[in-house]
Amino acid sequence: MSNPRTLRPARLAMPVALVAAALLAGCGDQSKIDPETTATLIQPVARVEIQAVTITPGTRTGEQIYKSICAACHDSGAVGAPKTGDAAAWGPRLALGHDGLTASAIAGKGAMPPRGGGSDLTDTEVSRAVAYLANLAGAGYTEPPVEQ
């Protein structure tokens, strides 16, 4: 049996030689790196990143919209907003119906800006968020489905 220490340089020599050979082979041969091939190789990564930041307008659910926009006021009842799940606060408002409340939220009311401040929300998205919010106070509205 040889001393393991004496083996180490030998084990390293092989990969180092291969890397050096690969680097040398690449020198002066830049034309072989085809930009299209590179684009194809990185495409899966690039595509995933684009999907992660893109929100297709109109595809958000009531719950997603509520949590990202409406909760800021309605969770705590800030600036006089009827509090989420507070049936007494929502009771008289529910008389407007799903469409009436959606129209209110689209136009804005009192301290609530139009679309609750979510200026890129579609009318249907506002309607979904209203259904989600009002249903937590017992409204029983049907949230318009998200068409993918």
Q: Which of residues 11-40 bind ligand HEC (CB under 6 A)?
A: none
Contact map string, positions 35 to 74, toward ligand HEC, x by CB under 6 A? ------------------------------x---xx-xxx
d(CA 5, CA 102): 76
How does 119-147 read in b/e, with b if 16+ C-beta sit within 10 Å?
eebeebbbbbbbbbbbbbbebebebbeee
Q: Which of 57, 91, 117, 138 binds ligand HEC (CB under 6 A)?
A: 117
d(CA 138, CA 81): 17
Indicate the residue among 26 and 57 with the shorter CB distance to ligand HEC: 57
Q: How many CB atoms lie within 10 A of CB 86?
A: 14
Please give the residue ranges that form the binding site for ligand HEC (CB under 6 A): 65, 69-70, 72-74, 79-82, 93, 96, 101, 104-105, 109-112, 115-118, 126, 129-130, 133
